[in-house]
Amino acid sequence: MSEDKPKQILVEYLTDNGSGFAITERGDQVYLSDRLVEKMNVQPGDIFDAYIMLNYADKRDAIKWRAMRVMKPTKIVPMFQDA
């Protein structure tokens, strides 16, 4: 995975401090910053196309990816269609 092509993510939950966590269709976890969550009005169950990149080195073992930008998907992948 890389940041040059968007990956579809499914938002699983939001934290008390406003950040969020999602999964890719491969099951990798993705961190969403509180700024991104607020700007895009992210809610659990939302599906986005996201530009992601490797998370910071000290956090990568727990959460491999972080979202840099998200947008409404043009097409929902089969894995997320019943979400």
21-75 confidence digits (pLDDT tens): 999 999 999 999 999 999 999 999 999 999 999 999 999 999 999 999 999 998 8
Cα distances (angstroms) measured from residue 76 to each of 10, 24, 64, 82: 10, 12, 23, 10
Domains of the chain as residue ranges with CATH: 7-76 (2.40.50.140)
1-14 confidence digits (pLDDT tens): 555 789 999 999 99
Question: Which pLDDT score is estimated for 67?
Answer: 97
Sheet strands (E) in the chain: 7-14, 20-24, 29-32, 47-54, 65-71
Question: Which pLDDT score is estimated for 3?
Answer: 53
How far apart CA 53 and CA 45 sit, in angstroms, is 21
Question: Which pLDDT score is estimated for 49?
Answer: 96
